[in-house]
Amino acid sequence: SAECQQHIDAAVERYLAVKPRAPETMFDHLYAELPRAYAAQRRELEGND
């Protein structure tokens, strides 16, 4: 229905309006404590290698 399509279109617009996050932030929400094996990868993404 047209109403469903409006909801979908609005959700897509909200999603597309979200600014991209820095790649290293993916580590912030995957682990309660970052495993040492990934610490170097995170530093590399931050540019601190």
For the stretch 13-47, pLDDT in tens is: 999 999 999 888 888 888 889 999 899 999 998 88
Is position 2 within any domain? no
Q: What pLDDT, on a 0 to 100 scale, did the predictor assign at position 32?
A: 87
Is position 30 within any domain? yes
Provide the domain limits for residue 28.
Answer: 21-49
Is position 4 within any domain? no
Is position 10 within any domain? no
For residue 43, what are its two tokens? Answer: 């530093």
Is position 38 within any domain? yes
Is position 15 within any domain? no
Quote the radius of gyration of the chain (alpha carbons, Å).
17
Q: What pLDDT, on a 0 to 100 scale, did the predictor assign at position 18?
A: 96
Spatial CA neighbour of 28 closest among 17, 39, 37, 16: 39
| Number of structural domains found in the chain | 1
Q: How far apart are CA 29 and CA 9, in angstroms?
A: 28
For residue 14, what are its two tokens? Answer: 């909200």
Check whether 9 has a pLDDT greater than 90. Answer: yes
Whether the pTM exceeds 0.75: the reply is no
